[in-house]
Amino acid sequence: MSFHEIRGQDPAIRVLQAVLRHQRVGHAYLFTGPEGVGKRRAALAFAQALNCSGGERPCGACRSCLKVARGVHPDVRVLEPEGTGIRIEQVRELQRELHFKAFEGRWKTAILDEAERLRGPAANALLKTLEEPPEQSVLILVTASLDALPPTIISRCQRVRFRPLPLEVGVALLQEQGGYEADEARLLIQLTGGSVGRALRLGQALGRDRRARLLGLLGTQGFPGAQALLDTVEAITPRRERSRETAEPRDDLEDLLDLLRSWLRDLLLLKLGLPAERLVNQDHLNGLRRAAATVTAEQLCARFEAVARVHAALPRNPNPQLALEALVTGMWP
Protein backbone atom coordinates (compact mmCIF):
# COMPACT_ATOMS: atom_id res chain seq x y z
CA MET A 1 0.00 0.00 0.00
CA SER A 2 1.14 3.55 -0.69
CA PHE A 3 -0.35 6.92 0.17
CA HIS A 4 -1.29 7.29 -3.50
CA GLU A 5 -3.80 4.46 -3.11
CA ILE A 6 -5.81 6.41 -0.55
CA ARG A 7 -8.06 8.54 -2.73
CA GLY A 8 -10.01 11.64 -1.84
CA GLN A 9 -7.96 12.46 1.27
CA ASP A 10 -5.15 14.62 -0.12
CA PRO A 11 -5.02 17.14 2.79
CA ALA A 12 -4.68 14.37 5.40
CA ILE A 13 -2.06 12.54 3.36
CA ARG A 14 -0.03 15.72 2.92
CA VAL A 15 0.06 16.14 6.70
CA LEU A 16 1.44 12.62 7.16
CA GLN A 17 3.98 13.04 4.37
CA ALA A 18 5.21 16.28 5.96
CA VAL A 19 5.71 14.46 9.27
CA LEU A 20 7.87 11.88 7.53
CA ARG A 21 9.74 14.39 5.39
CA HIS A 22 10.72 16.59 8.34
CA GLN A 23 11.26 13.61 10.65
CA ARG A 24 9.02 15.09 13.32
CA VAL A 25 7.10 12.03 14.39
CA GLY A 26 4.77 12.62 17.32
CA HIS A 27 3.95 10.01 19.92
CA ALA A 28 0.17 10.04 19.32
CA TYR A 29 -2.13 10.80 16.38
CA LEU A 30 -5.91 10.96 16.17
CA PHE A 31 -7.40 10.17 12.75
CA THR A 32 -10.93 11.60 12.70
CA GLY A 33 -13.66 11.65 10.08
CA PRO A 34 -16.65 9.69 8.81
CA GLU A 35 -16.68 5.92 8.78
CA GLY A 36 -15.42 4.19 5.67
CA VAL A 37 -13.43 7.03 4.07
CA GLY A 38 -9.89 5.63 4.39
CA LYS A 39 -8.77 6.40 7.95
CA ARG A 40 -7.74 2.84 8.81
CA ARG A 41 -5.99 2.38 5.46
CA ALA A 42 -4.10 5.62 6.05
CA ALA A 43 -3.13 4.47 9.55
CA LEU A 44 -1.71 1.24 8.15
CA ALA A 45 0.13 3.15 5.41
CA PHE A 46 1.60 5.49 8.04
CA ALA A 47 2.69 2.48 10.12
CA GLN A 48 4.36 1.07 7.01
CA ALA A 49 6.08 4.37 6.29
CA LEU A 50 7.52 4.63 9.80
CA ASN A 51 9.47 1.41 9.32
CA CYS A 52 9.83 1.32 5.52
CA SER A 53 13.26 0.55 4.07
CA GLY A 54 12.35 1.52 0.50
CA GLY A 55 12.88 4.74 -1.39
CA GLU A 56 9.40 6.27 -1.28
CA ARG A 57 7.83 5.73 2.11
CA PRO A 58 5.78 3.63 2.25
CA CYS A 59 7.04 1.73 -0.76
CA GLY A 60 4.61 -1.14 -0.21
CA ALA A 61 7.16 -3.64 -1.49
CA CYS A 62 9.94 -3.95 1.09
CA ARG A 63 9.97 -6.72 3.68
CA SER A 64 8.68 -4.42 6.41
CA CYS A 65 5.81 -3.00 4.34
CA LEU A 66 4.71 -6.46 3.26
CA LYS A 67 4.68 -7.68 6.86
CA VAL A 68 2.50 -4.76 7.95
CA ALA A 69 0.11 -5.44 5.06
CA ARG A 70 -0.17 -9.10 6.11
CA GLY A 71 -0.63 -8.18 9.76
CA VAL A 72 2.48 -10.05 10.93
CA HIS A 73 4.96 -7.24 11.64
CA PRO A 74 6.25 -7.69 15.22
CA ASP A 75 6.44 -3.93 15.82
CA VAL A 76 2.97 -3.00 14.51
CA ARG A 77 -0.15 -3.87 16.46
CA VAL A 78 -3.79 -3.24 15.46
CA LEU A 79 -6.21 -3.14 18.39
CA GLU A 80 -9.92 -3.59 17.69
CA PRO A 81 -12.97 -3.68 19.98
CA GLU A 82 -13.89 -7.02 21.51
CA GLY A 83 -17.61 -7.34 22.06
CA THR A 84 -19.10 -3.99 22.99
CA GLY A 85 -15.84 -2.10 23.33
CA ILE A 86 -12.09 -1.96 23.85
CA ARG A 87 -11.39 -3.57 27.22
CA ILE A 88 -8.85 -2.55 29.82
CA GLU A 89 -7.11 -5.94 29.46
CA GLN A 90 -6.44 -5.14 25.80
CA VAL A 91 -4.95 -1.77 26.68
CA ARG A 92 -2.74 -3.22 29.41
CA GLU A 93 -1.39 -5.87 27.05
CA LEU A 94 -0.69 -3.14 24.49
CA GLN A 95 1.14 -1.08 27.11
CA ARG A 96 3.42 -4.00 27.92
CA GLU A 97 4.24 -4.48 24.23
CA LEU A 98 5.01 -0.81 23.65
CA HIS A 99 7.61 -0.78 26.42
CA PHE A 100 9.71 -3.35 24.56
CA LYS A 101 12.22 -2.00 22.04
CA ALA A 102 11.37 -2.35 18.37
CA PHE A 103 12.27 -5.83 17.19
CA GLU A 104 12.74 -5.24 13.46
CA GLY A 105 11.90 -1.63 12.67
CA ARG A 106 12.51 1.84 14.04
CA TRP A 107 9.13 2.48 15.67
CA LYS A 108 6.74 0.46 17.79
CA THR A 109 3.36 1.37 16.35
CA ALA A 110 -0.14 0.69 17.66
CA ILE A 111 -3.37 1.41 15.79
CA LEU A 112 -6.55 1.61 17.89
CA ASP A 113 -9.46 1.19 15.50
CA GLU A 114 -12.88 2.49 16.60
CA ALA A 115 -11.18 4.29 19.47
CA GLU A 116 -14.51 5.83 20.47
CA ARG A 117 -15.38 2.44 21.94
CA LEU A 118 -12.78 2.75 24.69
CA ARG A 119 -14.67 2.14 27.92
CA GLY A 120 -13.96 4.17 31.09
CA PRO A 121 -11.19 2.07 32.71
CA ALA A 122 -9.59 1.36 29.33
CA ALA A 123 -9.61 5.06 28.43
CA ASN A 124 -8.01 5.94 31.76
CA ALA A 125 -5.30 3.33 31.26
CA LEU A 126 -4.58 4.59 27.74
CA LEU A 127 -4.33 8.14 29.06
CA LYS A 128 -1.35 7.13 31.18
CA THR A 129 0.46 5.91 28.06
CA LEU A 130 -0.33 9.17 26.27
CA GLU A 131 1.02 11.16 29.21
CA GLU A 132 4.20 9.08 29.50
CA PRO A 133 4.78 7.51 26.06
CA PRO A 134 7.50 4.87 25.71
CA GLU A 135 10.47 5.88 23.56
CA GLN A 136 10.21 5.25 19.81
CA SER A 137 6.52 4.42 20.06
CA VAL A 138 3.59 5.81 18.09
CA LEU A 139 -0.11 5.49 18.90
CA ILE A 140 -2.67 6.05 16.13
CA LEU A 141 -6.27 6.37 17.31
CA VAL A 142 -8.89 6.00 14.58
CA THR A 143 -12.43 7.25 15.20
CA ALA A 144 -15.58 8.25 13.37
CA SER A 145 -17.06 9.75 16.57
CA LEU A 146 -14.72 12.35 18.02
CA ASP A 147 -17.28 13.53 20.60
CA ALA A 148 -17.33 10.06 22.17
CA LEU A 149 -13.67 10.31 23.20
CA PRO A 150 -12.65 11.94 26.50
CA PRO A 151 -11.25 15.46 26.01
CA THR A 152 -8.14 14.42 27.95
CA ILE A 153 -7.30 11.87 25.25
CA ILE A 154 -8.11 14.22 22.37
CA SER A 155 -5.87 16.97 23.77
CA ARG A 156 -2.84 14.67 23.90
CA CYS A 157 -3.00 13.61 20.25
CA GLN A 158 -2.12 15.35 17.00
CA ARG A 159 -5.34 15.42 15.03
CA VAL A 160 -5.45 14.43 11.35
CA ARG A 161 -8.81 15.19 9.74
CA PHE A 162 -10.37 12.99 7.07
CA ARG A 163 -13.34 14.29 5.10
CA PRO A 164 -16.33 12.65 3.41
CA LEU A 165 -15.25 11.36 0.03
CA PRO A 166 -16.11 13.51 -2.98
CA LEU A 167 -19.08 12.00 -4.78
CA GLU A 168 -17.23 10.90 -7.90
CA VAL A 169 -14.36 9.38 -5.89
CA GLY A 170 -16.83 7.44 -3.75
CA VAL A 171 -18.74 6.24 -6.80
CA ALA A 172 -15.54 5.04 -8.50
CA LEU A 173 -14.36 3.20 -5.38
CA LEU A 174 -17.74 1.57 -4.91
CA GLN A 175 -17.77 0.40 -8.52
CA GLU A 176 -14.28 -1.06 -8.11
CA GLN A 177 -14.86 -2.71 -4.74
CA GLY A 178 -18.50 -3.73 -5.08
CA GLY A 179 -19.03 -4.08 -8.83
CA TYR A 180 -21.99 -1.69 -8.85
CA GLU A 181 -23.35 0.17 -11.83
CA ALA A 182 -22.76 3.92 -11.72
CA ASP A 183 -26.36 4.87 -10.84
CA GLU A 184 -26.60 2.41 -7.94
CA ALA A 185 -23.15 3.38 -6.67
CA ARG A 186 -24.14 7.05 -6.76
CA LEU A 187 -27.31 6.36 -4.76
CA LEU A 188 -25.44 4.35 -2.12
CA ILE A 189 -22.74 7.00 -1.71
CA GLN A 190 -25.38 9.73 -1.35
CA LEU A 191 -27.32 7.67 1.19
CA THR A 192 -24.24 7.16 3.36
CA GLY A 193 -22.76 10.64 3.13
CA GLY A 194 -19.64 9.67 1.19
CA SER A 195 -18.76 6.55 3.21
CA VAL A 196 -17.66 3.67 1.00
CA GLY A 197 -17.59 1.31 3.98
CA ARG A 198 -21.21 1.94 4.92
CA ALA A 199 -22.26 2.01 1.27
CA LEU A 200 -20.83 -1.48 0.74
CA ARG A 201 -22.74 -2.70 3.78
CA LEU A 202 -25.98 -1.05 2.72
CA GLY A 203 -25.60 -2.35 -0.82
CA GLN A 204 -25.69 -5.99 0.24
CA ALA A 205 -28.93 -7.85 -0.41
CA LEU A 206 -29.97 -7.47 3.22
CA GLY A 207 -29.34 -3.73 3.10
CA ARG A 208 -31.33 -3.28 -0.12
CA ASP A 209 -34.27 -5.15 1.39
CA ARG A 210 -34.19 -2.98 4.50
CA ARG A 211 -34.24 0.18 2.42
CA ALA A 212 -37.12 -1.01 0.24
CA ARG A 213 -39.26 -2.00 3.22
CA LEU A 214 -38.53 1.05 5.36
CA LEU A 215 -39.04 3.56 2.56
CA GLY A 216 -42.10 1.60 1.46
CA LEU A 217 -43.63 2.12 4.91
CA LEU A 218 -42.69 5.78 5.00
CA GLY A 219 -44.13 6.31 1.54
CA THR A 220 -47.42 4.43 1.89
CA GLN A 221 -48.42 5.69 5.35
CA GLY A 222 -47.52 9.32 4.75
CA PHE A 223 -45.75 9.53 8.09
CA PRO A 224 -46.20 6.54 10.39
CA GLY A 225 -46.66 6.67 14.13
CA ALA A 226 -43.98 5.55 16.55
CA GLN A 227 -45.27 2.00 16.98
CA ALA A 228 -45.64 1.37 13.25
CA LEU A 229 -42.08 2.53 12.67
CA LEU A 230 -40.75 0.41 15.53
CA ASP A 231 -42.62 -2.65 14.24
CA THR A 232 -41.16 -2.20 10.76
CA VAL A 233 -37.64 -1.71 12.08
CA GLU A 234 -37.96 -4.85 14.20
CA ALA A 235 -39.23 -6.79 11.18
CA ILE A 236 -36.36 -5.77 8.92
CA THR A 237 -33.63 -6.38 11.52
CA PRO A 238 -34.62 -9.69 13.14
CA ARG A 239 -32.31 -10.98 15.85
CA ARG A 240 -31.41 -14.08 13.87
CA GLU A 241 -29.55 -11.86 11.39
CA ARG A 242 -27.24 -10.48 14.05
CA SER A 243 -24.56 -13.11 13.70
CA ARG A 244 -20.91 -13.05 12.73
CA GLU A 245 -21.82 -13.11 9.04
CA THR A 246 -24.02 -9.98 9.13
CA ALA A 247 -23.87 -6.45 10.48
CA GLU A 248 -23.73 -5.95 14.22
CA PRO A 249 -26.74 -4.28 15.90
CA ARG A 250 -24.88 -0.96 16.00
CA ASP A 251 -24.25 -1.17 12.26
CA ASP A 252 -27.91 -2.07 11.70
CA LEU A 253 -29.02 1.07 13.51
CA GLU A 254 -26.48 3.26 11.73
CA ASP A 255 -27.78 2.02 8.37
CA LEU A 256 -31.35 2.81 9.42
CA LEU A 257 -30.36 6.28 10.60
CA ASP A 258 -28.70 6.92 7.24
CA LEU A 259 -31.95 5.97 5.50
CA LEU A 260 -34.09 8.11 7.80
CA ARG A 261 -31.82 11.12 7.35
CA SER A 262 -31.87 10.79 3.56
CA TRP A 263 -35.68 10.48 3.61
CA LEU A 264 -36.14 13.52 5.84
CA ARG A 265 -33.70 15.53 3.74
CA ASP A 266 -35.61 14.68 0.57
CA LEU A 267 -38.92 15.64 2.20
CA LEU A 268 -37.51 18.99 3.28
CA LEU A 269 -36.24 19.71 -0.23
CA LEU A 270 -39.71 18.95 -1.62
CA LYS A 271 -41.34 21.22 0.96
CA LEU A 272 -38.96 23.99 -0.10
CA GLY A 273 -39.98 23.51 -3.74
CA LEU A 274 -36.63 22.28 -5.03
CA PRO A 275 -36.57 20.06 -8.14
CA ALA A 276 -36.82 16.28 -7.84
CA GLU A 277 -33.39 15.93 -9.45
CA ARG A 278 -31.89 17.11 -6.14
CA LEU A 279 -33.38 14.17 -4.22
CA VAL A 280 -31.40 11.13 -3.10
CA ASN A 281 -34.33 8.68 -3.10
CA GLN A 282 -35.67 9.51 -6.54
CA ASP A 283 -36.83 5.92 -6.99
CA HIS A 284 -39.38 6.55 -4.19
CA LEU A 285 -40.59 9.89 -5.53
CA ASN A 286 -44.33 9.10 -5.31
CA GLY A 287 -44.01 8.05 -1.68
CA LEU A 288 -41.99 11.16 -0.89
CA ARG A 289 -44.67 13.38 -2.38
CA ARG A 290 -47.40 11.65 -0.38
CA ALA A 291 -45.40 11.99 2.83
CA ALA A 292 -44.51 15.63 2.15
CA ALA A 293 -48.21 16.50 2.12
CA THR A 294 -48.65 15.25 5.70
CA VAL A 295 -45.89 17.13 7.53
CA THR A 296 -44.63 20.70 7.94
CA ALA A 297 -41.10 21.93 7.35
CA GLU A 298 -40.78 22.67 11.08
CA GLN A 299 -41.71 19.08 11.95
CA LEU A 300 -39.18 17.78 9.44
CA CYS A 301 -36.40 19.91 10.93
CA ALA A 302 -37.25 18.66 14.43
CA ARG A 303 -37.19 15.05 13.28
CA PHE A 304 -33.96 15.51 11.36
CA GLU A 305 -32.31 16.98 14.45
CA ALA A 306 -33.60 14.08 16.56
CA VAL A 307 -32.06 11.54 14.20
CA ALA A 308 -28.78 13.49 14.17
CA ARG A 309 -28.65 13.51 17.99
CA VAL A 310 -29.15 9.76 18.22
CA HIS A 311 -26.52 9.19 15.51
CA ALA A 312 -24.01 11.36 17.39
CA ALA A 313 -24.69 9.58 20.69
CA LEU A 314 -24.61 6.07 19.22
CA PRO A 315 -20.94 5.31 20.05
CA ARG A 316 -21.60 6.13 23.72
CA ASN A 317 -24.72 3.96 23.93
CA PRO A 318 -23.93 0.29 24.66
CA ASN A 319 -27.49 -0.75 23.73
CA PRO A 320 -28.42 0.21 20.15
CA GLN A 321 -31.99 -1.05 20.60
CA LEU A 322 -32.56 1.41 23.45
CA ALA A 323 -31.12 4.19 21.30
CA LEU A 324 -33.63 3.38 18.57
CA GLU A 325 -36.56 3.26 20.97
CA ALA A 326 -35.48 6.58 22.46
CA LEU A 327 -35.53 8.11 19.00
CA VAL A 328 -38.89 6.74 17.93
CA THR A 329 -40.89 7.00 21.15
CA GLY A 330 -39.24 9.92 22.87
CA MET A 331 -38.08 12.31 20.13
CA TRP A 332 -40.15 11.29 17.11
CA PRO A 333 -43.13 13.69 17.04
> CA torsion sign, 109 to 248 to 178 to 279?
negative
Classified as helix, coil or strand, 284 is: helix
pLDDT at 82 over 90: no
Average pLDDT over residues 78-96: 91
Query: What CATH number did the domain enclosing 232 receive?
Result: 1.20.272
Average pLDDT over residues 6-26: 94
Per the domain annotation, does 179 fall within a domain?
A: no
Domain boundary among the residues 161, 182, 212 is at 161
pLDDT in tens, 153-193: 999 999 999 999 999 999 999 999 988 889 889 988 988 88
pLDDT in tens, 203-228: 876 677 778 888 887 777 666 666 66
Identify the domain containing residue 212 by its residue range. 204-331
d(CA 281, CA 286): 10
Are 146 and 235 contained in the same domain? no
d(CA 107, CA 136): 5
Are 144 and 230 contained in the same domain? no
* Better-predicted residue by pLDDT, 216 or 125: 125
Are 14 and 123 contained in the same domain? yes
Domain count for the chain, please give it: 2
Query: What CATH number did the domain enclosing 113 receive?
Result: 3.40.50.300
Whole-prediction pTM value?
0.77
Per the domain annotation, does 109 fall within a domain?
A: yes
pLDDT in tens, 34-70: 888 999 999 999 999 999 988 778 998 999 999 999 9
Beginning with the edge strand found earlier in the chain, give each strand of the sheet holding 28-32 in spatial order. Answer: 76-79, 108-112, 137-143, 28-32, 158-161
* Better-predicted residue by pLDDT, 190 or 2: 190
pLDDT in tens, 265-307: 999 999 988 988 889 898 889 999 988 888 888 888 888 888 8
Are 39 and 98 contained in the same domain? yes
